[in-house]
Amino acid sequence: MSADPGDDPHVRLLLGAYVLDALDAEETCRVAGHLQLCDRCARDYVEVAEASALLALLRAEDLGE
Ligand SMILES: [Zn+2]
C-alpha cells in the first residue's frame, strides 16, 4: 500500500452517492480508502451524511402527518 492522498483524486463528488450507497463496489472501496487517508474528505463526508440523515428525518416527518 502506497496510497497517498496527494496523488489520489479527492472523492467529494462521490460522497453523496456514497452516503446513499449508490456506488458500485469498486468506487465504494476507493471512497472508503480515501476517507481514511484524507481528513478533508472525511469532514465533508460527515457533513454530507448529516445532511442526508436530516433529509431522511424531514421526509419521515412529512410521511407522519
Ligand atoms: Zn480527499
**Total number of domains constituting the chain:** 1
DSSP character string of the chain: ----TTTSPP-HHHHHHHHTT-S-HHHHHHHHHHHHH-HHHHHHHHHHHHHHHHHHHHHHHHHH-
Whether residue 53 is contained in a domain is answered as yes
- Residue 58 sits in which domain range? 12-63
- What is the structure's pLDDT at 56? 87
> pLDDT confidence of 2, banded at 50, 70, 90?
very low
CA of 46 to the centre of ligand 1 (A): 13
C-alpha–C-alpha distance, residues 43 and 38, integer Å: 9
pTM (2 d.p.) = 0.74
- What is the structure's pLDDT at 8? 65
CA of 38 to the centre of ligand 1 (A): 5
Across the chain, mean pLDDT equals 87
Whether residue 32 is contained in a domain is answered as yes
With 60 as the cut, is the pLDDT of residue 5 above it?
Answer: no
41 with 10: CB under 8 angstroms? yes
Whether residue 50 is contained in a domain is answered as yes
Whether residue 20 is contained in a domain is answered as yes
Whether residue 56 is contained in a domain is answered as yes
